[in-house]
Amino acid sequence: LKYGMPLLSVTKLRYLISVFNAFAARVGKTSLIMSLVSEEFPEEVPPRAEEITIPADVTPERVPTHIVDYSGKDYTIPLFRWIPLINERTDKDSRLPLILVGNKSDLVEYSSMETILPIMNQYTEIETCVECSAKNLKNISELFYYAQKAVLHPTGPLYCPEEKEMKPACIKALTRIFRISDQDNDGTLNDAELNFFQRICFNTPLAPQALEDVKNVVRKNLSDGVADNGLTLKGFLFLHTLFIQRGRHETTWTVLRRFGYDDDLELTPEYLFPPLKIPPDCTTELNHHAYLFLQSIFDKHDLDRDCALSPDELKDLFKVFPYMPWGPDVNNTVCTNERGWITYQGFLSQWTLTTYLDVQRCLEYLGYLGYSILAEQESQASAITVTRDKKIDLQKKQTQRNVFRCNVVGMKGCGKSGVLQALLGRNLIRQRQIRAEHKSYYAINTVYVYGQEKYLLLHDVSDSEFLTDAETICDAVCLVYDVSNPKSFEYCARIFKQHFMDSRIPCLVVAAKSDLHEVRQEYSISPAEFCKKHKMPPPQAFTCNTVDVPSKDIFVKLTTMQDFNSCPSVCFRSHARLRCMCACNRCTFCICQNFLNSDLLQSVKNKLFTAVLNRLRPYIDELGAMLLADEESSIMQQVHAVNSVEDSIFMESSLGPRLLEDRHVTQADLKSSTFWLRASFGATVFAVLGFAMYKALLKQR
């Protein structure tokens, strides 16, 4: 080109953009920098400009920009040789974005764009081409804006110019974003979901007409881009391809970065693992908002509304993950239905288990599901509750914790696995169907304690001679021995003396396989005497060889035998979370719940209450007349007519007239008493009816 063309090489150093003004001599490199800084053309141009940094607060992207002017030596290498030379010194996957700048445009009357287009098509590293003039200050600010844009919103990771389509990594990331945004899992983004997506990414909703315009553009170019007036995945990807092709790839990058992606289209560690401080002796649990989010995720993928996730539904749920997080052992860790599918309660239990054992993994999983986006929270850390030190619970004799860990100790073959599976409601017949390679050493389920729902986590520890420190950290210990094995109890007694005799951890001895013939244990004293000596509850008989679900009495006892629960003044404080938190408005529970809250039912209830009171009013009035009689003889005659209280009346008459005068009921007292009599009777009736209906609905769920 007659007027020369500087080549800008742009790189990003974390939060700093470096622009290298490079290579050709006498093309106006230094003049561009001087004109940018002083906003006027310099009369005298030095051989080389000093390195300068543009502060973040004066740039559109709020990122500091560092500008370096290279030496003004007279290079004779043509432009098309410089680009291969740069590429030879950089990796193919991390090539620097380049910008071609046509300077001194004030000296010519034509545009060089037609000449540059073949070069831009040949070298995909070239982000854009700008014609400018340092003398007239034409496009100077735009030049460095495009330099920032080339770093912050590069085209390379998103789009392949040769094939004119998005790259696989970009398609994969946008597909995950689409699945997260499709909150009803119907395969399309309706207007509400599109508006939510727009507000989350760009802080502003779309007007109804703008939504229709977007869908019309997709309809015009793609036959299956819109379905049922909603944007399909193909339409969603087409829109972003269109943005990139029209030079608006910052739109796509804004979406990607909002959902946690970096320049390499990988989820950033800052997004997946937000900081969470956990002091010693504290545990981690999910809070109420996290349970509501997980409930919505469950309902989203429970397409057949059977309150269980089939293998296909579970696979669909984890499509937003880079890998399958749950293995077949999960089905033996939580509750499942008769077909072996994870139930609603089992789904929440598995998340509770992950949060308790490995909170960092829980944060990662919630990040894949898009918790911070859908729940509109700063990060996944807002879903976690860090409990206070257990020592404080012991001092105050109350706890706010909802998850209690119990280590199950016993020699091999004593029935520990049976205890774990019994917590999940599985008898011996169902336990025999479990494959050895799918065995789980954990089991978690809910247990009701003082009318509140708590999670009990059982851990089958190793049967070695000595336990590790990690295996002794728990809230309670379950010592299991086999009543049919004479050597079984000796192991429990030895482990207890080694690790738990001097600790404050409560222990419970369980006599497993109680359906078999009990033999005398080869130990100095019997298990019952051992428990009495060490001030433990007596051995609890247990068997899972039952026709129905095994008894859960030992699990309730394990949960309630904490030190801070042994005191009558103990207070459990938990989140106000119902057994069923469903709000899908589609399942049987929600339909019945809405019916119970409807105006029609409230009206029927009021009319029924009025009818009952009207029927009882004559009897109440008659009883009032009896109590208001002035003469004692009249009272005695009326009361003698009631056979059920005859003896008590004779006892009252023997107390003397003075006492009867003191017990005389005034008219005001009578009115008050009849009111409360009617109110208490009506409340009792409706409490019984309401409780019966609630139990029926709870059983359905």
The string of pLDDT tens digits covering residues 661-694 is 343 444 444 444 555 566 677 777 777 777 777 6
Instruction: Return the half-sphere exposure (C-beta side, CA atoms, 13 A cut-off) of residue 377.
Output: 17
| Cα distance between residue 87 and residue 347, in whole Å | 51
Distance between CA atoms of residues 26 and 48, nearest Å: 11
Task: Check residue 423 and give its pLDDT.
Answer: 95
Cα separation, 69 vs 51, whole angstroms: 7
490 by Cβ neighbours in 10 Å (0-12 / 13-18 / 19+) ranks as middle
Lowest-confidence region among 188-192, 452-456, 467-471, 583-587: 583-587
Region 248-263: what's the mean pLDDT? 92
Position with higher pLDDT, 573 vs 528: 528
Q: How far is Cα 66 from Cα 298, in angstroms, rounded to an integer?
A: 49
Asked if 476 and 505 count as a contact pair (C-beta separation under 8 A), the reply is yes
User: Which has more pLDDT, 249 or 693?
Assistant: 249
659 vs 213, more confident: 213
- What is the pLDDT at residue 645? 37
Structure-model confidence comparison of residues 606 and 65, the more confident one: 65
* 675 phi, psi to nearest 5 deg: -60, -50
Four-CA torsion 134, 137, 138, 144, nearest 10 degrees: 80
Confidence of residue 164 (pLDDT cuts 50, 70, 90): confident
Strand partners, 309: 342
In one-letter notation, the amino acid at residue 664 is: H
Least confident of 25-34, 35-44, 396-405, 615-624: 615-624
Higher confidence at residue 616 or residue 126?
A: 126
Whole-number Cα distances in Å, 29 to 11, 39, 87, 222: 18, 15, 21, 46
Alpha carbon distance 363, 382 (integer Å): 10
pLDDT at 39: 80
Cα Rg of the chain, angstroms: 38
Mean of pLDDT over the chain: 80
Residue 155 makes CB contacts below 8 A (sequence gap 6+) with: 97, 127, 161, 244, 249
What pLDDT sits at residue 7?
A: 44
Residue 396 has pLDDT above 70, yes or no: yes
Looking at the predicted structure, is the pLDDT value of residue 73 above 50? yes
Assessment of whether the complete model's pTM goes beyond 0.85: no
pLDDT at 694: 67
pLDDT: is 608 or 204 the higher one? 204
Q: What's the pLDDT score for residue 635?
A: 42
Most confident of 36-40, 476-480, 642-646: 476-480
Which of 20-34, 515-529, 570-584, 624-638 is least confident? 570-584
Residue 101 has φ and ψ, to the nearest 5°, of -120, 120
Percent of the chain scoring above 70 in pLDDT? 76
- What are the structural domains, with CATH classification, of the chain? 7-153 (3.40.50.300), 165-266 (1.10.238.10), 271-387 (1.10.238.10), 403-564 (3.40.50.300)
pLDDT of residue 1: 29
**pLDDT tens digit sequence for 409-430:** 999 999 999 999 999 999 999 8
Burial of 556 (0-12, 13-18, 19+ CB in 10 A): middle
- pLDDT tier at 243 (50, 70, 90 boundaries)? very high
Q: Which pLDDT belongs to residue 454?
A: 92
Residue 78's pLDDT band, with cuts at 50, 70 and 90, is low
The answer, yes or no, to whether residue 76 has pLDDT greater than 60, is no
pLDDT the model gives residue 581: 43
- Give the distance from CA 55 to its chain's centroid: 39
Which of 23-27, 115-119, 525-529, 666-670 has the highest average model confidence (pLDDT)?
A: 525-529
* pLDDT higher than 50, residue 582: no
**426 near 331, Cβ under 8 Å?**
no
Q: What are the pLDDT digits (tens) for 643-653?
A: 443 344 333 33
CA dist 64 → 30, 56, 264 (Å): 20, 4, 21
Which span out of 17-21, 160-164, 356-360 was modeled with the highest average pLDDT? 356-360
For range 489-501, the mean pLDDT? 93
State yes or no: pLDDT of 261 exceeds 90: yes
DSSP state of 500: I
Tell me the CA end-to-end span of the chain in Å, nearest whole number. Answer: 76
Residues in the chain: 701
pLDDT category of residue 54 using cuts at 50, 70 and 90: confident
The 10s digit of each residue's pLDDT in 440-473 is: 999 999 998 888 899 999 999 987 878 888 888 8
So what's the pLDDT on residue 504? 84
> Which carries the bigger pLDDT value, residue 157 or residue 601?
157
Q: Is residue 593 very low, low, confident or very high in pLDDT (cuts 50, 70, 90)?
A: low
| pLDDT value for 666 | 43
Q: What is residue 574's predicted lDDT score, i.e. its pLDDT?
A: 40
Residue 456: in which H helix or E strand, if any? strand 452-460
pLDDT the model gives residue 272: 96
Confidence of residue 101 (pLDDT cuts 50, 70, 90): confident
* pLDDT for the residue 114: 75
Q: Are 587 and 697 in contact (CB under 8 A)?
A: no
Q: In whole angstroms, what is the distance from residue 683 CA to residue 671 CA?
A: 18
Structure tokens at 399: 């706890």
User: Which residue, 241, 444, 427, is CA-closest to 333?
Assistant: 444
Identify which has the larger pLDDT, 599 or 394.
394
